[in-house]
C-alpha cells in the first residue's frame, strides 16, 4: 500500500491519565500513543525505549509490547486500522496476554511500499508537531458530533504523513532544507517570515524545521532570522545616514522600539551608540 491510499478507521481515541499494564501483550489492531505528561519505558520489537513528554509511539496490529511505569502517565491513545475494511467493529479492542493471542484474529497488517519506517514499530522523540491534531481527534471522540469519525480519519491521515516526513528525512536532504531556509531568509529578511511560510517552502512541519535548524546551525529559525536582520542593520548604521526608524523597517522589524531593544540586547549598545562608535573608528 502507498501512504496516500490509507483511509484510517479509528476505533478508540482518548486523552487521559492511566497506569499501563506491566505485562507483555498483543493487539489485534494498530496502536498510536502520544505522551502528554509523565515518563515510562516501553519494550517493543526486542528493544527498550525511554518515553518522555512529546514522544510518539506507533506499531501495527499483531505487535507484542510491554510498558514499564511507576506511576500514572497522561497519554493520547488511538486504536485504529489503516483501512475501512473492519469498520463494523466499532468497540475498542483490548490488548491480550501472550498466552491468549491468536494470530488469526489480527485485523490487518499493512505493508507500505513508500515508507519503510511505518512497517516497523516507531518511537519518535520531540514529535510535538502531532499534538494539536491528536488532541482534536481525542476531543472529537469525546463529543461525538456528526461526522466525527470522518473528520478524525482525515486528521489521522495527516498525522501519518507528517510522521512519515519526520521519520524519512535523511541527513543529506535535511541539510538541503536548511540551506533552502537560509537562502530564503537572506533574500526575504525584509518581509514577514513565519513557520507557515517556511513549511510551505520546504514541505516540512515548522516544528521539525526548527529541530533541523538547531541540529545544523545551533539556532532556531526565528533566532537565525533575527540575527541576520541585526547584521544587515549594522551595515545600514555604518554605511548610510538612514534614520533609525527607516533602518528598523528596512530590516524587517515590526516596530522601532522592538528593533532598538533587541539590538541593544544582542550587541550591547543601542543602534545610535553603535553608529557613533563605528563612525569614530573610521
DSSP-assigned states of every residue in 103-168: GGG-------SS-GGGGS-EEESS-GGGHHHHHHHHHHHHH--TTHHHHHHHHHHHHHHHHHHHHH
pLDDT of residue 108: 95
- Residue after which a domain boundary falls, among 122, 152, 168: 168
Give yes or no: residues 144 and 203 share one domain. Answer: no
* pLDDT string in tens for the chain (282-residue length): 999 999 999 999 999 998 887 899 999 999 999 999 999 999 998 889 999 999 999 999 999 999 998 889 999 999 999 999 999 999 999 999 999 999 999 999 899 998 888 999 999 887 888 999 999 999 999 999 999 999 999 999 999 998 887 776 655 667 788 888 999 999 999 999 988 889 888 887 787 788 778 767 778 899 999 999 999 999 999 999 999 999 999 999 999 999 999 999 999 999 999 998 887 655
What's the pLDDT at 168?
A: 66
Same domain, 221 and 197: yes
- Could you tell me if 215 and 142 lie in one domain? no
Domain range enclosing 121:
3-168
Number of domains in the chain: 2
Do 193 and 238 belong together in one domain?
Answer: yes
CATH number of 274's domain? 1.10.10.60
Q: Which CATH number covers residue 51?
A: 2.60.120.280
- If asked whether residues 239 and 261 sit together in one domain, one would say yes
Do 150 and 200 lie in one domain? The reply is no
> Same domain for 114 and 182?
no
Asked whether residue 59 falls in the same domain as residue 134, the answer is yes
Let me know whether 34 and 81 are in one domain: yes
Amino acid at each position: 500500500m502507498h501512504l496516500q491510499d490509507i483511509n484510517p478507521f479509528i476505533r478508540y481515541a482518548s486523552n487521559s491519565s492511566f497506569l499501563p499494564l506491566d505485562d507483555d501483550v498483543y493487539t489485534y489492531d494498530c496502536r498510536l500513543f502520544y505522551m502528554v505528561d509523565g515518563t515510562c519505558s516501553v519494550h517493543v520489537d526486542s528493544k527498550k525505549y525511554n518515553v518522555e513528554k512529546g514522544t510518539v509511539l506507533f506499531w501495527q496490529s499483531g505487535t507484542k509490547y510491554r510498558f514499564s511505569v511507576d506511576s500514572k502517565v497522561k497519554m493520547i491513545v488511538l486504536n485504529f486500522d489503516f483501512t475501512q475494511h473492519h469498520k463494523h467493529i466499532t468497540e475498542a479492542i483490548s490488548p491480550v496476554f501472550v498466552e491468549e493471542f491468536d494470530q488469526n484474529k489480527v485485523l490487518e497488517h499493512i505493508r507500505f511500499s513508500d515508507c519503510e519506517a511505518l512497517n516497523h514499530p516507531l518511537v519518535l522523540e520531540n514529535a510535538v508537531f502531532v499534538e494539536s491534531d491528536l488532541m482534536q481527534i481525542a476531543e472529537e471522540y469525546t463529543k461525538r458530533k456528526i461526522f466525527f469519525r470522518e473528520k478524525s480519519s482525515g486528521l489521522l491521515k495527516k498525522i501519518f504523513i507528517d510522521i512519515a516526513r519526520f521519520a524519512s528525512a535523511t541527513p543529506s536532504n535535511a541539510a538541503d532544507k536548511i540551506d533552502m531556509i537560509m537562502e530564503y531568509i537572506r533574500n526575504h529578511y525584509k518581509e514577514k517570515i513565519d513557520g507557515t511560510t517556511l513549511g510551505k517552502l520546504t514541505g516540512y512541519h515548522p516544528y521539525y524545521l526548527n529541530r533541523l535548524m538547531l541540529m545544523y546551525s545551533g539556532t532556531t529559525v526565528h533566532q537565525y532570522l533575527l540575527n541576520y536582520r541585526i547584521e544587515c542593520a549594522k551595515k545600514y548604521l555604518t554605511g548610510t545616514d538612514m534614520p533609525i526608524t527607516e533602518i528598523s523597517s528596512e530590516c524587517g522589524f515590526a516596530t522601532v522600539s522592538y528593533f532598538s531593544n533587541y539590538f541593544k540586547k544582542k550587541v550591547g549598545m543601542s543602534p545610535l551608540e553603535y553608529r557613533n562608535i563605528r563612525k569614530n573608528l573610521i
